[in-house]
Structure formats: C-alpha cells, structure tokens
Amino acid sequence: MLKQQSILIAGGGSTFTPGIVMMLLDNLDKFPIRQIKFYDNDEDRQNKIADACRILLKERAPEIAFSATTKPEEAFTDIDFVMAHIRVGKYAMREKDEKIPLKYGVIGQETCGPGGIAYGMRSIGGVLELVDYMEKYSPDAWMLNYSNPAAIVAEATRKLRPNSKIINICDMPVGIEHRMAEVLGLSSRKDMTVRYYGLNHFGWWTDIRDKDGNDLMPKIKEHVAKHGYVTPAELSSAESDIEASWKHTYEKAKDVFALDPETLPNTYLKYYFYAQDEVAIADPNYTRANEVMDHREKLVFSECQRVVDAGTARDVKLEADDHASYIVDLARAIAYNTKERMLLIVENQGALVNFDETAMVEIPCLVGSNGPEPLVQGNIPRFQKGLMEQQVAVEKLVVEAWEKGSYQTLWQALTLSKIVPNARVAKQILDDLIEANKDFWPELK
C-alpha cells in the first residue's frame, strides 16, 4: 500500500493553486493524500482560493484534512512535500518589472532581462524563507519549487542553501512538448523521450524519439520551420483558446528555430535573439501583467467566488493542466521511487561536459526517492555555449548582488544581460528599479 502524503501549497493564493488541487484529486489512486494545507502571507487572497477548494475537497475527497493558514509553524509542520509558487510583490510589482525597462526601450518581461533580475532580487529572500521554515518544521520534506524567476532562485538555493531538499522546476518545456505531441498526432507528450539542455527559459531539444527509438525531430522541425509551435488545431481554427500574446510567442519560435536548425528551441529565446522586434510590438502602458490581471486572475478568482456562492464545486470550471501534472509527477517520483525521466533545473556537475560545473542547468534527470539523477548531455556547441555563459554569469551576479547588497554587482549583471544595450541604460533602469523595489530588495551600497 502506498504511503499517504501530506502536502503544503506555499503561495496558496496563487492562480495556479486550484489547478494543482484538481490534479492531486485526479491522481489519488497513484498519489494518495491524507492532508492538504495552504500557506500564504496574504490571508485575504489565500482565503478566496481556499474557501472554494475546501468545498471542492469536501465533495470529492472528504477523507483529506484541509486547512489554510498564514502561520509558518502551523503550515510547515507534518509535511512531506511543499509545492511552492509564490510571487513576491504580486502582480503590482510584475507590472513595474515590465514597464520600467520599456520606458528605456528595453524588453520588460517576467523572467528575462531587467524584469527577471528585479523579480529575482525579490524572490530570493521569499524562497529562502520557505526553505528555512521547511527545514525547521519538517526536515525530511522536499520542496518542489515553481516560484520564478526559476533560474535565479535555483542559483540562490544552490549557493545559499546547498544542502536543502529543494528542486526548482519549470512548466515551459512540458508545455512545448505537449504542442510537439499534437503536431505528431501522439496522444501524450509522455510518448516522447527527449534530450535537452540549457538554462531555465533558455534551452534546446537535441533529440526526440518515440518509445521504439524512432527519430521524431524531422517531422517537428518541418512544422516549426513553417508555423513555430502553433498547433495544427490552432492553425485550422479561426478561434483559439490561447491568448494573442502566447500565440505570438509560439509563432515567433519559427524565427528562433532559424538560428540553429539542428535543434528545437525554447520559446523565450525570442527575447534574446529578437529583443528590438519584441519591444516594437510591446505596449508600454499595457503589458503581460495587465493581461494576466484582466484574464487569468479574474477568471480564477471569479470562478472560486462562484463556487463559494453556490456552495458546491460540482460544475467547477477550473482545470488541471501540464503545469499541475508535472509537479504531481515529480512528487510521485520522489515518494514512490518511480525513476521518471523529467527535465529539472540542477547543478551541472559535468552533465554538460564543457560547461561551468556550478551552473544551474535544465536537463533530463531520472527522479527517485533520493531526488534527481542528472543524465549526461555531453558537449554543447559554441553558439549555445557562448549564449549560456553570458546568461549564467548574469544569474550568478544577481545572487552575488543580493548576498552582498552590492549596487556595483547588480549594475554589472544588468549590463551583461544580452537584452540591455549598454551600461548607461542599465544604470538608468537599475536606479528606477531600486526606487520601485525599496520594500523588497536588500539595501544596495
């Protein structure tokens, strides 16, 4: 009989929380649960999600104990897995991360360039705090962390909490693999076995095969060269479920792919290869944060309110997706030693032979009860190596700047980012970001 698990969702008020709860409910036969707790530092926001999830859980799995709290000891005691997805500063700060660089004609993005650096400087402290609570109150637990910017957070936990049981993850590769599977007519992305390497939001597939070992790359490449990662269904229907900004990102993968037709790229490389094109189509007064607040956040919170008002979650419209299935698969792999092959952000340690051993890289790993076992991906080519060396230096400098409280180091990080044109612009953006982030960043000297 499988051991029943106790789960803490940290960032209970996240728009992604209901999806994860739905996915946990869908998998109770493979991942039995005795307790789910929510933790957040914003009680009102968390309660809106928790009140709906309490109804959902009572109807579908009344045997699972449920609670929501803002008290760390109550939250982190008696836990097997912490599923973390906090956003320090919430959407109000994401909006500033995006709009400040745009004032200077520079990409404003959640995880890439100056926006990602600003968000990283807020997230490091928040995530380390969660790790410390977990180690104090449930020292045997694992933290599976989605909190962004995952690359910077991963470098911070590697360097500042080297022995902690935290695994940093991203749903972007599985989201793209889902699209590849649709292109191939496969029923699941899990029918594919992939080789992949890179940094978070900065990587490439080098090999994709079916379970019999047949090479699937040629067919995917043929599609991507024409349509990027827009799926056949999206191409043939005038109406699509995806938002226009994501559709553009999937289309733009065509131009990103053109740079290296040997591999298949992660979508967010568009911000590095085509920075000016992306700035040209951005609206400095209405960025992705505004879209998310107007769409996903409204949708999730209004649906939770509807469930609470109706007193039932019988016809709840919130769905579990790849994002949720990935974190649940990872928890299962650790809990029951499934040895599932998954892309994770781990310390390189020779897996990319000719790359910095201490870099946090995104590569396939076999996951069991001891955690991830990285799979060697060999030598990487000069083009990717050059790009990755520059980007990993940015990520390491940000963590160093946070640790030392150093203005100079953060200025260097911004200047080194491929997205920022020069040191003068880097300084202007930095000074604005410091002012905007004074409640969140360490003081920089």
Ligand X SMILES: O=P(O)(O)OC[C@H]1O[C@H](O[C@H]2[C@H](O)[C@@H](O)[C@@H](O)O[C@@H]2CO)[C@H](O)[C@@H](O)[C@@H]1O
Ligand Y SMILES: NC(=O)c1ccc[n+]([C@@H]2O[C@H](COP(=O)([O-])OP(=O)(O)OC[C@H]3O[C@@H](n4cnc5c(N)ncnc54)[C@H](O)[C@@H]3O)[C@@H](O)[C@H]2O)c1
Q: Establish if 344 lies at the interface with Mn ion (CB under 5 A).
A: no
Q: How far apart are the first and last CA of the chain?
A: 56
The reply to whether 148 sits in an annotated binding site is yes
Distance CA 210, CA 191 (A): 6
Query: Which partner from the list ligand Y, Mn ion, ligand X, none does 367 bind, CB cut-off 5 to 8 Å by kind?
Result: none
Task: Select from 8-16, 133-141, 246-254, 384-392 the region that touches ligand Y (CB under 6 A).
Answer: 8-16
The reply to whether 209 sits in an annotated binding site is no
Q: State the DSSP string of 428-440.
A: HHHHHHHHHTTTT
Strand partners, 194: 208
Neighbours of 214 (CB within 10 A): 9
Query: Which residues would be at the binding site for ligand X (CB under 6 A)?
Result: 110-111, 148, 170-172, 175, 288, 292, 321-323
Query: Which partner from the list Mn ion, ligand X, ligand Y, none does 372 bind, CB cut-off 5 to 8 Å by kind?
Result: none
Distance CA 112, CA 437 (A): 17
For the bound state, the minimum distance from the C-beta of residue 291 to ligand X, rounded and expressed in Å, comes to 7
The reply to whether 87 sits in an annotated binding site is no
For the bound state, the minimum distance from the C-beta of residue 421 to ligand Y, rounded and expressed in Å, comes to 26
For the bound state, the minimum distance from the C-beta of residue 200 to ligand Y, rounded and expressed in Å, comes to 7
Phi-psi region of 127 (alpha: psi -120 to 50; beta: other; left: phi over 0): alpha
The reply to whether 170 sits in an annotated binding site is yes
Neighbours of 137 (CB within 10 A): 17
Q: Catalytic residue at 171?
A: yes
Q: State the DSSP string of 175-201.
A: HHHHHHHHHHT-S-GGG-EEEEEEETT
14 or 409: whose CB is closer to ligand X?
A: 14
3-state helix, strand, coil in the chain (%, to 5): 50, 15, 35
Which of the following is catalytic: 171, 322, 329, 432?
Answer: 171
Task: Select from 34-42, 231-239, 257-265, 336-344 the region that touches ligand Y (CB under 6 A).
Answer: 34-42
For the bound state, the minimum distance from the C-beta of residue 200 to ligand X, rounded and expressed in Å, comes to 8
Name the pairing type of β-strands 202-209 and 264-265. Answer: antiparallel
72 or 116: whose CB is closer to Mn ion?
A: 116
Neighbours of 251 (CB within 10 A): 16
Q: 126-185: which residues touch Mn ion (CB under 5 A)?
A: 170, 172
Which residue, among 258, 233, 257, 247, has the nearest Cα to 281 in the 3D structure?
A: 247
Structure tokens at 410: 């953060």
Residues in Cβ contact with 264 at an 8 Å cutoff, skipping those fewer than 6 apart: 180, 204, 205, 208, 217, 220, 221, 224, 257
Q: Catalytic residue at 268?
A: yes
Per the listing, tokens 């994860």 go with 20
For the bound state, the minimum distance from the C-beta of residue 49 to ligand X, rounded and expressed in Å, comes to 16
Quick note: the x/- pattern for ligand Y over 315-354, rule CB under 6 A, is --------x-------------------------------
Q: 158-197: which residues touch ligand Y (CB under 6 A)?
A: 170-172
172 or 420: whose CB is closer to Mn ion?
A: 172
Name the pairing type of β-strands 33-39 and 5-10. Answer: parallel
The number of CA neighbours under 13 Å toward the Cβ of 186 is 19
For the bound state, the minimum distance from the C-beta of residue 149 to ligand X, rounded and expressed in Å, comes to 8
Which residue, among 230, 205, 202, has the nearest Cα to 218 in the 3D structure?
A: 205
Query: Which partner from the list ligand X, ligand Y, Mn ion, none does 87 bind, CB cut-off 5 to 8 Å by kind?
Result: ligand Y
Distance CA 445, CA 442 (A): 10
The reply to whether 94 sits in an annotated binding site is yes
Query: Which partner from the list ligand X, Mn ion, ligand Y, none does 102 bind, CB cut-off 5 to 8 Å by kind?
Result: none
Q: Establish if 13 lies at the interface with ligand Y (CB under 6 A).
A: yes
Which of the following is catalytic: 197, 268, 271, 326?
Answer: 268
For the bound state, the minimum distance from the C-beta of residue 149 to ligand Y, rounded and expressed in Å, comes to 7
Q: Establish if 88 lies at the interface with ligand Y (CB under 6 A).
A: yes
Q: 46-75: which residues touch ligand Y (CB under 6 A)?
A: 46
Task: Select from 57-65, 142-150, 214-222, 415-423 the region that touches ligand Y (CB under 6 A).
Answer: 142-150
- The answer to whether 324 and 20 have CB atoms below 8 angstroms apart is yes
Query: Which partner from the list ligand Y, ligand X, Mn ion, none does 85 bind, CB cut-off 5 to 8 Å by kind?
Result: ligand Y
Residue number of the CB atom closest to ligand X: 175
Residues annotated within a binding site for Mn(2+):
170, 201
Residues that bind Mn ion (CB under 5 A): 170, 172
Residues annotated within a binding site for substrate:
94, 148, 288
Residues annotated within a binding site:
94, 148, 170, 201, 288
Q: Which residues are catalytic?
A: 171, 268
